[in-house]
Structure 1
């Protein structure tokens, strides 16, 4: 195991997000997308110019991802919606459930959106993981998760990684070209005291990077489940991570401050660790 990357972190976006989440590099626009779930905001950040934008949503927003034709797809409290390039809003799939909200989401190699939900009270089995296609087709893949969180795919698309946070595990599934998953088994289990697995990303070498809620760290695991790198940051509530920049070599880390009695000054900001790895290109939503 190698450590010491904590000394190299910088602040990409200084903010006080309640629940910063879902960093995603948008290569077409050369910018980073991220959300403040509870603050109901979608943020963008252009590292080359420093330009930032903020769009307020009418509901809690779990994730925002680029669409192949421009615009964004949003995982919202009451379902999944589309933002067109001109800013027009429309629902792709609306399914409000009292006491439930959207959480993390990711786009699979085939362009489908995998969108997670959870209950506000985090009741066991109260959340779901569903797969949505660009025409609005939806299939619930996992109906009884608790806090649906990080998702990612191996570079060849044959494996899907997934974290249901309270299980303390990152699981791996076999994934086929039709978007069917099977053979769920643990990749790693996070030991007590180290935090809980939250958002994740998969790099060009097939290694899994997972943010640890309550752990103030991002860990990289090999495809065999071996821990080989720890990136420590002073914000205890690390929520998710993604590679960005022109060469996909900068690791962006979102953080939160919700529930903290004395947040660290960088809690709620987006942090960046330059040159710590090499990400894989992420597909846009095919809708």
Structure 2
């Protein structure tokens, strides 16, 4: 089955990404990475009316909702908390001596921990990482030797994590749970052979994966073992991230980008797009830490080590 998405916003993003649904405020939330913006919008029929834009400056790789009503964002090199009252606090540099890197896509896991991946600002050399950060600031590298870390998602039961490595063109899976990550188990490639470059992903309530393809202008639905199902076409070649939104989580929102395009006005690049596939999403997972008093505001945060550069 092939569906067609429609542009739903009045303005374009430079690099729209990280879309999600805030069920408490009934708003769609997404970022414009290169403009350092976090956007919120109300869903009105087939339109999204922007209600607020928070500009943090620099990069905003991803945003997560917090249990306390605030938000947690992945800045260029640090986490950034935004309290429910709007107070912004920037955490410590997480990259140590690496200078050619920034944070990219991120997601919250079923235990309320934040997972983010890195992206090289120069030529990628398979040295990027996938990092998990606990609400108290403890961190664990879940995956290394990544070319460009992108979409992250979880099976409905929380027992499997999915991760996109964009430049090698794979979606891989790994068992998952509340304890320490099992590095003895290898990641398993479940989807390869993409048209374009795989980017953001979301998982629906049946455990199917929806993956945006940068350069192809599509979002495709796959079973957990990689069988292609529905295709959503977007009139924007650089599709970046899908998520189910709306009261019933039955509307697919898709971000897109204008960066690098000579004539983005010739299509619908940069807009947020909407489609109505025969599928339903799941409630957005929330960061379990405090955004009013983030972990780095305590003395204990000083003992949290920076993430080392992978040695291979």
TM-score normalised by length of structure 2? 0.86
1:20 counterpart = 2:26: no
Q: Deviations over 1:133-161 (max 9, x none)?
A: 11111112223212110000000011111
The match for 1:273 is: 275
Distance, in Å, in 2 between the alignment partners of 1:106 and 1:18 is 21
Query: Does residue 1:206 correspond to 2:207, yes or no?
Result: yes
Q: Which residue of 2 aligns with 1:101?
A: 102
Whether the 8 Å contact between 1:250 and 1:276 is mirrored in structure 2 is no
Counterpart for residue 260 of structure 1: 261
Shift of 1:91: 3.0
Distance 1:55 1:118 in 2: 23
Q: Does the 8 A contact of 1:122 with 1:147 survive in 2?
A: no
Partner of 1:141: 142
TM-aligned CA distance change 1:282 to 1:233, over 3 Å: same
Corresponding residue of 1:152 = 153
Show CA shifts across 1:214-235 (max 9, x none): 0100010011210011111110
Mapping for residues 34-113 of structure 1, pairs under 5 Å: 34-48=30-44, 50-96=49-95, 97-113=98-114
> CA, structure 1 residues 50+18, in 2 after alignment: closer, same or farther (shift >3 Å)?
closer
Q: Secondary structure at the match of 2:167?
A: helix
Distance in 2 between residues matched to 1:179 and 1:268, nearest whole Å: 39
Residue 122 of structure 1 deviates from its aligned partner by 4.3
Task: Report the alpha carbon displacement of residue 275 of structure 1 after superposing the two structures with TM.
Answer: 4.5
Which segments of 5 or more consecutive residues in structure 2 lack a partner in the other structure? Answer: 290-312
- Partners of 2:35 and 2:58 within 8 A in 1: no
Distance 2:17 2:160 in 1: 23
Larger mean Cα displacement after TM superposition, 74-83 or 274-283: 274-283
Which residue matches 2:176? 175
Q: CA–CA distance in 1 between the matches of 2:254 and 2:50?
A: 18
List structure 1 segments (4+ residues) > 6 angstroms apart after TM superposition.
Answer: none
Match of 2:8, SS state, is strand
Q: Contact (CA 8 Å) 1:154, 1:160: kept in 2 or not?
A: yes
Q: Distance in 2 between matches of 1:152 and 1:239?
A: 15
Could you tell me how far 1:126 is from its partner in structure 2? 3.6
Deviation of 1:86 (Å): 1.1
Distance (Å, rounded) in 2 between the aligned partners of 1:132 and 1:47: 31
Distance 1:125 1:275 in 2: 35
1:190 match: 193
Distance between the aligned counterparts of 1:79 and 1:129, measured in 2?
14
In structure 1, C-alpha distance between the alignment counterparts of 2:180 and 2:271, rounded to whole Å: 34
Report how many residues are paired: 281
Aligned to 2:29: 33
In 2, the alpha carbon distance for the partners of 1:137 and 1:92 equals 13
Change (3 A) 1:179 1:112: farther
Query: How far apart are residue 274 of structure 1 and its match?
Result: 2.4
1:38 counterpart SS class: helix
CA gap of 1:115–1:150, structure 2 versus 1, over 3 A, is same
Q: CA deviation at 1:254?
A: 0.2
CA deviation vs aligned residue, 1:87-123 (integer Å, no higher than 9, x gap):
1122344325412111000011111110111111241
Q: 1:284 is matched with which residue?
A: 286
Q: Which structure has the larger Rg over C-alpha atoms?
A: 2
Higher strand share: 1
